[in-house]
């Protein structure tokens, strides 16, 4: 355990060791305190900090994790280049009153090695949308999230709605495996122009950044059309995709889906989500918004 201090006061305990963190949390749990988990890969921004704030509203003890999980990176995705800003991340967590930070290395999380690691596979929603573009990604997510939930054993776990597919998959996994926690989704945090906050935004060129909010604006237009009665989802998706590509972004997907199971929306569905992903020159951006048809 590393004790992080500020002006000689203990403000956050950082654990590399799983057993030691469990021992500490067991004492908190015995005292009747409610525990929340916020799982991250670090390089924290305002979107992550909003998760910490929501967790603090809903629990007595907030545990954050920072672990750049190699299991969820594909063959063409460079795990080594993922930004690591540990000192800055700790300062941000301290400023939000986070109680504990789990910061294990790969050997601590996968003691038997990556090749021998037991995997958690969700058989639905993981081979479409982002799953189609990133084969194996969600298996890495569900495996590491299961491990973190088992380590921390929280009452609640807070995830951002920016990755709506990930949130839906984690909710389904928790339900299927009878995991006794409440999975809470936090609203998408956005920049002043509407761009969803993401660690990947730093890879945008200046020119790309100036128009990167186009994905959000395009989805807003789709949502407005749907909310006022348009049910031709294929036409809306096609028109929106053409607008994205005219701006020199490469479209991965843009789809109107049922919010819970991520199946393509039908005319009778009421709880909808518009999902989108586009490629810039050096990164991939995702976003989503909810819409309730009349």
Residues with a known catalytic role: 48
Say if CB 63 and CB 25 are below 8 A apart: yes
Answer positive or negative: Cα dihedral of 67, 287, 162, 208. positive
Say if CB 274 and CB 219 are below 8 A apart: yes
Say if CB 262 and CB 128 are below 8 A apart: yes
Residue 183 exposure: Cα atoms within 13 Å on the Cβ side:
20
For tokens 């939000």, what's the residue?
96
SS3 readout for 131-167: HHHCCCHHHHHHHHHHHHHHHHCCCEEEEECCCHHHH
């Amino acid at each position: 355990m590393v004790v992080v201090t500020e002006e000689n006061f203990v403000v956050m305990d950082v654990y590399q060791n799983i057993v030691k963190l469990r021992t500490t949390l067991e004492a908190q749990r015995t005292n009747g305190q409610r525990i929340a988990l916020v799982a991250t890969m670090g390089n924290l921004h305002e979107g992550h900090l909003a998760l910490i704030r929501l967790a603090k509203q809903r629990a007595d003890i907030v545990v954050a994790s920072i672990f750049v999980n190699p299991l969820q990176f594909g063959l063409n995705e460079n795990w080594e280049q993922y930004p690591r800003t540990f000192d800055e991340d700790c300062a941000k967590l301290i400023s939000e009153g986070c109680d504990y930070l789990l910061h294990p290395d790969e050997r601590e999380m996968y003691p038997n090695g990556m090749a021998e690691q037991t995997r958690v596979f969700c058989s639905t929603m993981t081979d479409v949308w982002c799953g189609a573009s990133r084969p194996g990604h969600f298996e890495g997510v569900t495996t590491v999230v299961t491990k973190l939930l088992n380590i921390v054993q929280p009452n609640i776990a807070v995830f951002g709605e920016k990755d709506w597919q990930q949130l839906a998959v984690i909710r389904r996994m928790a339900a299927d495996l009878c995991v006794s926690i409440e999975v809470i989704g936090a609203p998408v945090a956005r920049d002043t122009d509407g761009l969803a906050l993401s660690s990947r935004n730093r890879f945008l060129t200046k020119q790309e950044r100036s128009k990167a909010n186009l994905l959000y604006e395009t989805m807003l237009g789709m949502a407005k059309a749907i909310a006022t009665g348009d049910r031709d989802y294929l036409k809306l998706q096609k028109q929106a995709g053409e607008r994205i590509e005219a701006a020199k972004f490469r479209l991965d997907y843009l789809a109107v889906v049922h919010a819970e199971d991520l199946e393509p929306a039908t005319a009778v569905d009421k709880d909808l989500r518009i999902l989108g992903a586009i490629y810039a020159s050096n990164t991939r951006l995702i976003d989503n918004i909810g819409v309730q048809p009349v």
